[in-house]
Chains A and B, each alone.
Chain A
């Protein structure tokens, strides 16, 4: 009946319920499952992200799996269903919908977290937004309506490939020293300008500061110079970083 089922997952219970439904339907219809995980790219501070995770999912809720895509793929294998996994960064609803068009899915399944009140006003409902704009039928799996114990039971297997220890970069004293000399040099140069003009405007040097140069006291010129040289120093610093960035990241 359905050729290609798209399911959105995030590691929390409602979306895993949706994933289980997707695999069940696919195994019945012989369809393919595309599982997508969308990470939002938001201008949030780290503390805000923490606070939001609590508000978004409810206090005390933890993600049931850190790698929901692997979990769904493993659950699919167990039931003989091919699961294609996609990880994206962007706006949640927009990404789900554009992927649905891209892979020509004929059913989208999403979980509904059942938020109410202010939280719903603030976060909105992705499930509702997907349903509203989707180019195909949508199945919304409501919170706590699907038993996901068997899906979670594949977890140990899903996590079988132990996360590799992050490769710690090797300390390169030469790079470190170069950075130190460059940043330190620029800082020293700027400190000279800054402390020079700042200390000139203390009581003992006030006559020097008040010397008239081109119609204005010397100190005011030094003030302008501090601003201009600040912009110049920043430009030099950023230019080198840009150059370096282009070199190492291509």
Chain B
């Protein structure tokens, strides 16, 4: 065991969150005091929980890691995560809150009828696929985190942590997720700002903007790692000699781009377009984020939380950029060595915990690891709750065995969630070297190709028909999953079509085109007036 103190902090934090959710629930029921006016949920709590939901492991570990390796080009992903939240607010949040439906299948059923089986089946399949793919980055992140803490190999670590995470979540370990999300939001946000302040003080003379000046000097580690001479020279250097290493690398590679130069790892136009499109529309199809709007009772509180969240996100993603650059500077020789040794998974995802360890020793490492693990656990639990709901509600009760008891449904759903988690663990073993933020981007692409068009059209288009929803979602799902796997298998092209970094550029247009085409060929628009009236009249 490499880091006993940090590991202890992580384990304690899990028990602490369990205790807080237990204590809070009992307290809310049995306290004799009204300490909140009118018994309302404070919108700040909800705002922080939204932030915690959104700034998950991908944003925290993945974006910072990407910036640390390639410089400013790693940051464009954050732009997409940020913009997606705005799209969600503008297009979906209001109407869905008015309709009062929480899952995609329920929204579509509200327009096209409860008995509609086809839409339910396609929606369920999409939900399961999305949940599985979104679980993968959570497990990959946890695997690397515990590898860092325990010093085991990746394979046993990921098998053990993945299984424990799934068991914990399926057995109902996460309760009162709003409180947990809020705590996690505070920890991640606070850790990001504290890291920024601490590293500014220790390495940049107290001026965070000096980080940008250093950025102009540094050759990104991803570039250095490709130069054998530079790698050999840096291999001799300790982390403490980072400043000298930065200068040495610059002298050796005078013409190389800096960490602030766009172009180090830029995608070509098609790849970039695919990624930004997937990010832009993806959140529309990720109901576990959408759902946070429903936990507050009135619309004003929902809006206040939303405004709180947007400020938080803007500050967070701006800080990620500076912290990522600071990581690059402070851990310069280490990052180059990791890349040169082929430990890309570690370099891509673990640079932030490593910075924490350097600045604040094992305690800081433990706190950052605990925050990141909390993010992974709560995201996983949100996903598995969606998956079990869908399995019990849309598959077992609606189709397989309508006369089943509650107990049978729960057992069926939990078994299904277990199988889903096992598949995700398998994928996590296979995809170990991927950046978790990129993996999350893939899920956004699948969501953008399936649920996003269906929901947007259902809420905003009077002409949309039942058959079109089914066809559009189905075609989008197949297209995006095929191109996701083609990417994972590193195929250069599939059926003569180039495979891109994200499936959205094919999935979204195909789904939209199919939906529009089938709409004009069919007539069943569902209870369109009733549905749209409830969505838009207030």
Contacts and interface: CB of A to CB of B under 8 A. Distances in A.
Interface of A: 40-48, 51, 54, 59-60, 89-95, 97-98, 121-126, 128-129, 132-133, 168-172, 175-176, 179-180, 183, 186-187, 190-191, 194-195, 197-199, 201-204, 206-207, 209-210, 216-217, 219-220, 223-224, 226-228, 230-231, 233-235, 237-238, 241-242, 244-245, 248
Contact of A237 (B75, B83, B90, B410): B90
A82 B63 CA distance: 65
Contacts of B295: 43-45
16 contacts: A43-B296, A45-B292, A45-B295, A48-B176, A48-B177, A93-B29, A94-B33, A170-B533, A183-B94, A206-B266, A217-B72, A217-B262, A220-B72, A234-B310, A235-B307, A241-B299
Interface residues on B, range: 35 or more
Interface string B169-185: 00010011111000000
A175 B535 CA distance: 11
Given A187-B90, A216-B212, A242 B300 contact: yes
B305 to A, nearest CB: 10
Nearest to A132: B32
B262 A94 contact: no
B436 interface: no
B16 interface: no
A201 B28 CA distance: 50
A227 B82 CA distance: 8
Contacts of A207: 263
Contacts of A241: 94, 299, 303
B251 interface: no
Contact of A41 (B41, B79, B272, B405): B41
B49 interface: yes
B39 interface: yes
Contact of B310 (A41, A179, A231): A231
B273 A199 contact: yes
B287 to A, nearest CB: 10
Contacts of B317: 227
Interface string B301-335: 00100110011001001100100000000000000
B291 A46 contact: yes
Given A199-B276, A203-B266, A125 B314 contact: no
Contacts of B115: none
A231 B311 contact: yes
Contact of B34 (A90, A122, A238, A245): A90
A175 B94 CA distance: 14
Contacts of B27: 124
B86 interface: yes
A129 B32 contact: yes
B524 interface: no
B86 to A, nearest CB: 5
B294 interface: yes
B30 A206 contact: no
B362 interface: no
Sort A-B residue pairs by CB-CB distance and give the 8 closest, nearest first: A90-B39, A202-B272, A129-B30, A124-B26, A43-B178, A206-B263, A171-B529, A133-B32
Given A47-B102, A172-B537, A230-B86, 18 more contacts: A43-B49, A45-B294, A91-B29, A121-B26, A123-B26, A129-B31, A168-B530, A168-B533, A172-B533, A183-B91, A187-B87, A199-B273, A201-B76, A203-B267, A217-B261, A217-B262, A230-B310, A230-B314
B177 A210 contact: no
Contacts of A129: 29-32
B129 interface: no
B193 interface: no
B127 to A, nearest CB: 12
Interface string B74-100: 011001101100110111001000000
A125 B27 CA distance: 10
A91 to B, nearest CB: 5
Contacts of A226: 79, 82-83
A128 B32 CA distance: 11
Contacts of A237: 89-90
B22 interface: yes
A127 B27 CA distance: 14
A92 B31 CA distance: 8
Interface in B323-365: none
A233 B32 contact: no
Contacts of A169: 533-534, 537
B73 interface: yes
A144 to B, nearest CB: 21
A197 B34 contact: no
Contact of A234 (B86, B175, B536): B86
A121 B22 contact: yes
Given A47-B389, A94-B32, A210 B261 contact: yes
B163 interface: no
Contacts of B40: 41
A233 B88 CA distance: 12
Contacts of A219: 72, 262
Contact of B31 (A94, A128, A172, A201): A94
A53 to B, nearest CB: 10
A9 B280 CA distance: 48
A245 B303 CA distance: 11
Contacts of A98: 34
